[in-house]
Amino acid sequence: MLRAALIGLPSSGKSTIFQLMTSAKDASKGKGDVAIGISKVPDARLDTLTAMYNPRKRVPATVEFTDIIAPARTGAQALVDVAGYKNADALVHVVRAFRDESIAHPSGSVNPARDAQAMEDELILADLGVAERRLERIERDLKKGKSAELEKERDLVQRCQRALEAGTPLRALQLAGDDLKRLRGFQLLSAKPLLLVINLDEADVAAAGADIERAAEKTGLTDFLAHAATKAVALCAKIELEIAQLEGEDATAFLADLGLTESGLDRVIRTTYDLLGYISFFTVGEDECRAWSIARGTAALLAAGEIHTDIQRGFIRAEVVAYDALIARGSMTTCREHGEVRLEGKEYVVQDGDIINFRHAT
């Protein structure tokens, strides 16, 4: 399960957005309590495949979102104390950009760029404490005896410490390979990919639409969004509340009046999925059409294991057809007749949108 955690200052609209885009109905009200909800990743391809096969079951990819309900503390310290946040694969920061005199801002004024940087600074500060404590322990262990692995870890943590002291989030270092593995257990907050959800006024949504560059420029967030592994989506929680109360065709017409083709909530879910570096492949048939989540670059053998470990163990071949080819031909049989169904081995790198049938020994 892919996991993302919502963060944000009080009165930013964070909890409203969480409730709208997840299946959580009755969130706990106690201080520091955590709400968890599941969001279905919108995918028009799955809709088309479902219409083609008319299966008994349609199963989309999902993302699990976590939200702290009325925490005793705000900011990074509250996140550090909650396992669901440390274990998240990405952070979704809801930033207030709407103006409403009846809803007080904790800092006294609405300033999206200031709030985004303030939260970033808290994440960096929390991670700096983790890095310093880890370095102290490594140095103690090295005094007991040399260790090549510990020395590599010390060098990496020192590099992270220098970046954090300079005010640079660890996601900007774009760590990979062994370095990424060495840091994984520390659950560093500023190393996680970040999605900014800019909660706009209704008039600003009508002006900017889904154009995030225009929204970022209007809210002063352009420079912030230049950081690595950082994306943004603009929406208006007030509008999203109205859309949630409409039927399908009415909701579509309402969005069209605003110059939009999909809701802001759908864009948040889909962008979170993309930010995590995940793609979908599909299995289809009369029983079920399903989207399976895998990291980009996953080999066919490991993709088979997402369905069932028995399929991975007994893997023989993967029958693969591209989504566009299947839709153009209209059936798997016609794709076979035109040589568009390929037999791939264990090392084949699954592509986004592949429709796959795994042949395996029972």
- Distance in Å from the first CA to the final CA of the chain: 26
Q: Where in the chain is the domain with CATH 3.40.50.300?
A: 2-43+60-108+193-275
Q: What is the pLDDT of residues 181-209, one digit of tens each?
A: 999 889 899 999 999 999 999 888 877 66
The superfamily CATH assigns to domain 2-43+60-108+193-275 is P-loop containing nucleotide triphosphate hydrolases (3.40.50.300)
Strands of the 90-96 sheet, one edge to the other: 33-40, 62-69, 2-7, 90-96, 194-199, 230-235
**Using an 8 Å Cβ cutoff, are 323 and 300 in contact?**
no
Pairing between β-strand 355-360 and β-strand 315-321 as defined by DSSP bridges? antiparallel
- Residue 30's pLDDT is 41
Is domain 297-360 classified as CATH 3.10.20.30?
Answer: yes
**Using an 8 Å Cβ cutoff, are 119 and 93 in contact?**
yes
- Per-residue pLDDT averaged across 287-312, rounded? 97
Q: What is the pLDDT of residues 241-257, one digit of tens each?
A: 999 889 888 998 988 88
Q: What is the pLDDT of residues 8-32, one digit of tens each?
A: 988 999 989 999 999 655 444 444 5
Distance CA 58, CA 50 (A): 7
Of the chain, the percentage scoring pLDDT greater than 90 comes to 69
- What letter represents residue 294's amino acid? I
Mean pLDDT, all residues of the chain: 90
3 state DSSP class of 223? coil
- Residue 70's pLDDT is 55
Q: Where in the chain is the domain with CATH 1.10.150.300?
A: 120-190
Alpha helices in 31-111 (DSSP H): 44-53, 76-80, 83-86
- Written as six digits, the tokens of 12 are 């930013």
CB atoms within 10 A of CB 230: 20
- What letter represents residue 3's amino acid? R
Residue 204's alpha-carbon distances to 99, 208, 218, 236, 262, in angstroms, are 11, 6, 9, 8, 17
Q: What is the pLDDT of residues 347-359, one digit of tens each?
A: 999 999 999 999 9
Q: Where in the chain is the domain with CATH 3.10.20.30?
A: 297-360
Helices 177-184, 148-165: inter-axial angle, 10-degree rounding: 80
Q: pLDDT band for position 288 (50/70/90)?
A: very high
Distance CA 105, CA 223 (A): 23
The CATH number of the domain covering residues in 120-190: 1.10.150.300
For residue 352, give the nearest of 268, 293, 309, 312 by alpha carbon.
293
- Residue 77's pLDDT is 59
pTM check: above 0.75: yes
Q: What is the pLDDT of residues 130-173, one digit of tens each?
A: 999 999 999 999 988 888 899 999 999 999 999 999 999 999 99
Q: pLDDT band for position 85 (50/70/90)?
A: confident
